[in-house]
Amino acid sequence: MATTRSPRRFVVTGGNGFIHISNEVLVGDLCDLSFCESVVRSMDTIMHFAATMGGMGTIHEANDFVIYNDNSTMTFNLVHAAVHQGVQRFFYASSACVYPTSLQHHGTNPISLREHDVWSSGAPNPQGLYGLEKLNSELLLMQFVEKMQIRIARFHNIFGPYGAWVGGHEKAPAAQLRKALAAHMDPSTQHEIEIWGDGKQQRSFLYIDNCVEAILLLLESNCSEPINIGSDCSVTIDDLTKIAVQSVGMDVGDFHFRYMDYSRPVGVQARNSNNEFITKTLSWTPKIPLEAGMMKTADWIRGEMEKLLNGNDKAAQTELLSSFKTSKVVYLSRPTITFAILLPITSRGLEGPEKSLENLRTFAKSLARTTWRDTRKLGLVRFQVKIYLGIDADDEFLLRRTGNTEMLNIESLLSEEGIMDVSTEICNVPRGHVCAIWRQCAHRAWKEKADYFVLMGDDVLYRKWGCSRMIPSRLSNGIGGSLPARYIQQHADGWTFGPLTEAASVLEASLATSFPAATRKMTLDIVIPSYRVLLPFLDVILALKESPTCETMFIIIIDNPHSPKITELEAKYAHRPDIRIRVNESNLGASASRNRGMKESAADWILFLDDDVTPQDDILIEAEKAIRLNPQAAGFIGNTYFPVASTIFTNAVHLAGVTHFWDIAAKMPQNESDMPWGVTANLIARRVQDGVEFDLQFPKTGGGEDIDFCRKKRDFSVAHGGEGFYPAPRVVATHPWWSDGQRSYWRFYMWSKGDGGLIKLYPNLTYLDHSPNSAELFLISTASTVLGSFTYLFTRSFVVFNISMSLALATVIANIVHDMYRHLWRDTNRTKALRSSLRGLGWAVAVAESALIRMASEGGRLIGLLERGEIMLVGHRFDWFTGRAGDGPMNEEIMNGQQRMALVALIFGVLCFKFCC
């Protein structure tokens, strides 16, 4: 804490105490030298009040070692930092406990402790290790009197508002005031007040305002010797208790004193400050007497007690007041939290068994280095690490012993690297059953009461209740992990379904009785296949936040192992426990990447997002809402919008119908429970053991795989009592125009080659159109052209050739004219709904180009059928609405085909009359 009340800069340690003035608060551990270095940098004065201390409830023999260790470390670090940083002045809060206990007993002469009395008995004999540490710190500071100004104050029982008043760290004035106030606030009980000891112990007590005045005088003085700051008017604890009773407005005669002679620590018999030196040196004497200070402190403690009592019912208030009537003995023994590291190890699968020891040594060095500070850090809690080694029973190399000892070689190796706490489990399980080894090690750790089990992997179970956290640490696997393993892994197929579901059910039942407040969270994983590794888009996706009732994980499947952006992506996000990055060994395609993402997931639901979409900030929250509203659905179809179409080409894409299903959730009725399908750019699917994956028969670039996936998921769900896909119109993402809107028909051609495969897969969703479409007419024209070429060779006649060219030209003209008719006249209500900024002639040109895009798509569909040898399916069409819109869409397409065919015949006749007659 620093103050800017003057040009000088002060750092004041001890944020939990009450002797401080600050305008900035820094929170850290003074047992950490680096923190001390950073705090004192550029400071002029250190005022060191921080200490593990209190009244006799705290500084008793049982706490000696903890107090000494903490306080000496803090002071040493601060002195070290002060000297290193060139601090000008160091104030140290010492204690009257430095004085010999032999001088502090009842005798004929009143006790009056002078500063030089510390050495009056020869060897120092302070009160406990608390006093010894204070004295040693004084001596430490005096070593640097030539390098900085040293100021040492030996405090004698400072009290006042804002000091500790409950919990065991309070001193006698606050403790007795609290007890008296508790009796005053609870008149229904007998007025009894607890006193530790026989009440005859003598102490002097100094009010805080007097203390602060003395400190400021000492700081500005030239006194570098230790100096008493206290009252020289001692009272007995009996007298102090009477003053406390009077300070709260009660009559001493109404109270009964209950003495606890032997069951509580009482300290020395008598202690009083001699103030001759401070009076002579600083011209200081206390101005506020004990009684006035007790009155002020009583008022403040009363306010603090009322804050705690207010809002509680009568029974709770009575219980709280009862607890205030007694003081606690505090034991500072540090609770130990044990982290059990479950570590299966094998010597097999390497270039030599010795390599396993080399790998283990690397691991041990890393573990020792990264846990050293935490396992040695001083504080309220102690941490320790214990390794549970799991070794196959037939692994003779690892089971070798060191010399004639009982210690295994690997245990000796760990000991050499500073890892001393090791338990070894000999595991008689089939080779490759790593989970069985983990289970055996975990059982041993549980029996030995380990607090945490450290498994170097991902949490798939406890995240469902939010009762575990993946720590943001980064581990590097030399072998295995996302890379191939060095042994044959025995996978349990489907373990993330049946076994995981069963385990979750068992845990849920157990929590229902042991911890009913625990509620199960939804788990939702976001799977993102990425070939281009577009960081600006991925940054937005990975910044999405879920609600407190949902746990998420982002699974990114990189489908281009040579992408230069992988390193940047991993450097930026690999440390995050909620992000899993996997890299395919080669370009497998979006479908295979999504399948890998599904295998990586263990969540209840999966949200598929393309790597180039920009989701709305609340997409995860809206996804959770949709799922909770219809939990039996097979999945949910979100809305994926495109930017406003501003060019001829982007408008033509819309008009060609390519993007119609991207925002189908906004077009279908909101009560629809069986959506046709949705694009994988923004699609939610239930993760169940249905065997449904993205079919790799479809092109790697996409086309038809999303429809096939949705239909299979839907069919399984309905067949097993579930429902189909629901619309989720508020689950929104925006997709950019492909290639920034540059003109290209190839994407749509390839998609159609793929989705043509649906005709064979789903004959129940197809129909026969007797009117050939543009692609089929072009096929006839091409065949006629070939025939015309042979005819010309024998007859030198162009008639057949001209007929074929006329048919092709008629097909193009008829399709453009018909689309002009549809979009500019017949279906204008539909076209008005498009997000477009194009008007006038540009709009008409876009309509014409839309016909070309549609013809390219029809061409891709026909070529796909021919390449797959499905020639008998030519003329069949797939119902994109899968019957959910009735016969309307199918009848409209048949009508459009008939109208186009009529136009083709008319134009073809005119052209033939002109060129062939």
Q: DSSP secondary structure string, 646-689?
A: -SHHHHHHHHTTTTGGGGGGGTS-TT-SS-----TTEEEEE--S
Cβ atoms of residues 90 and 46 within 8 Å: yes
Q: CA-to-CA distance for 877 and 893, rounded, in angstroms?
A: 9
> Dihedral angle at the C-alpha atoms of 292, 296, 298, 301, nearest 10 degrees?
-160
H/E segment holding residue 341: strand 336-345
Contacts of 10 (CB under 8 A, 6+ apart): 2, 3, 43, 44, 45, 46, 47
Q: Cα(808)–Cα(810) distance, rounded to whole angstroms?
A: 5
Contact 540, 615 (CB under 8 A): yes
Determine contact, residues 589/565, Cβ cutoff 8 Å.
no
Strands (E), 4-155: 10-13, 45-48, 89-95, 149-155
**Rounded distance between C-alpha atoms, residue 914 and residue 917, angstroms:** 6
Backbone angles phi, psi at 743, to 5 degrees: -70, 125
List the structure tokens of 826.
């017949």
Q: DSSP per residue over 502-570, as a string?
A: HHHHHHHHHHHHH-TT--PPEEEEEEEEESS--HHHHHHHHT----TTEEEEEEEEES-TT-TTHHHHH
| Burial class of 916 by CB neighbour count within 10 A (0 to 12, 13 to 18, 19+) | middle
Query: Sheet harboring 635-641: ordered strands across?
Result: 579-583, 550-558, 522-530, 605-609, 682-686, 635-641, 725-734, 614-615
DSSP 456-494: SS--SSGGGGT-----------SSSTTSPPSS-----TT
388 is catalytic: no
Contact 93, 155 (CB under 8 A): yes
Question: What's the token pair of residue 794?
Answer: 């024998």
Query: What are 40's two structure tokens?
Result: 């004192």
Give the angle subtended at the CA of 693 by the CAs of 687 and 697, to the nearest 5°. 165
Cβ-proximal residues to 176 (8 Å cutoff; 6+ apart), any chain? 193, 195, 237, 240, 241, 244
Q: Are 830 and 798 in contact (CB under 8 A)?
A: no
Q: Which of 46, 61, 209, 50 is nearest to 134 (CA)?
A: 50
> Choosing from 99, 130, 531, 641, which is the catalytic residue?
130
φ, ψ at 410 (rounded to 5°): -70, -30
**Cβ–Cβ < 8 Å for 725, 636:** yes
Distance CA 812, CA 859 (A): 13
Q: Which residues are catalytic?
A: 130
